[in-house]
Amino acid sequence: MKKADKILQFLKFSSKLKSQKRTIKLSGERQESVADHSWQVCLLVLLVQPYLKNEVEIFKALKMALIHDLAEAEIGDIPHGVTATNRKIKLQKRKDEEREMKKIKKMIGGKLGAEFYDLWSEFETGQTREAKLVRALDSLEANQQSIRFDVDYWDDYFYSIALTKAEKHCRHEDILCKLNSLITTGMETEFRKIGLDVEKIKGEGIISTRL
C-alpha cells in the first residue's frame, strides 16, 4: 500500500498545476494553467519529432516536457518577461524551483524521484539535445498561445521581449526555426492590430511604441 499511497500523494500534489494560472489568456477570459501549457509542449514534442535533423530520445523528451514546470505547483508561474528583466527575481526563482524539486524528489522517492529531479536539472542546464528541444518548444508554445486571443493586456515591456525570446533556442533545428518564423510573423500582425509600431520595436529594441 505504501507504493500506491505515494502515487496518490504525488497525484494530489501535481493536480495543483491545473489551477496554477499563467498570464496568458484563453478564450472567454480564462487564463491558461500550467497544466494546459505542459500538455501542449508534450504534444509539440510528438509533432516535431519526425522533422528533426538531430535524433533525440523521444520518451526522454516527453518526460522532460511533462515535468519541466512541476515546481510551479508550489511557487506558481513567474512570466518570462519578469525574469528576463530582473536578475534578482530570476535567481530567486531558480533557488525556489531547486528547493521544490528536491522536495518532489523526496516525495516520489527511489530511482523515479531521482529521475524527475535529474530531468528537470537537465532541462534547466539546456545542454543535451532533449533539453534544447524542450526549451525551444516551451518558448514557442507560449508565444503561439499568447497571440491566439488577445495581446492588448500585456505589460508594455513584454512586447519587444516576446518577439525575440524563442529565436536563440531554435537555431539548431530547421523545423524549429520555421515554426518560430511563422509564430513571430503572427505575433507582429497581432501587435499591429493594437497599434504597436513593430518596425520601431524591432529596429531599436525598445519596450513598445504605440502608433
Q: Does 211 map to a domain?
A: no
Instruction: For 17-65, write each residue's pLDDT tens digit.
Output: 999 988 776 766 778 899 999 999 999 999 999 999 999 999 999 999 9
Q: Does 134 map to a domain?
A: yes
Residues 101 and 13: their CA atoms lie apart, in Å, by 12
pLDDT at position 23 is 77
Residue 209 has pLDDT above 50, yes or no: no
pTM across the whole model: 0.89
Q: Does 173 map to a domain?
A: yes
Percent of the chain with pLDDT over 90: 60
Q: What is the CATH number of the domain that holds 118?
A: 1.10.3210.10
Q: Does 210 map to a domain?
A: no
Q: Does 194 map to a domain?
A: yes
With bands split at pLDDT 50, 70 and 90, how would you rate the model's confidence at 14? very high
With bands split at pLDDT 50, 70 and 90, how would you rate the model's confidence at 149? confident
Domain extent for 188: 2-204
Residues 60 and 139: their CA atoms lie apart, in Å, by 19
Q: Does 209 map to a domain?
A: no
pLDDT at position 64 is 98
- Cross-strand partners of 21: 33
Please state the domain count of the chain.
1
Residue 6 has pLDDT above 50, yes or no: yes
Residues 139 and 183: their CA atoms lie apart, in Å, by 11
Q: Does 102 map to a domain?
A: yes
Q: Does 75 map to a domain?
A: yes
Q: Where are the alpha helices (DSSP H) in the chain?
A: 2-14, 34-48, 58-67, 72-75, 80-85, 87-108, 110-125, 129-146, 158-164, 167-170, 174-193, 198-204
pLDDT at position 107 is 93
Mean pLDDT of 159-182: 92
Percent of the chain with pLDDT over 70: 91
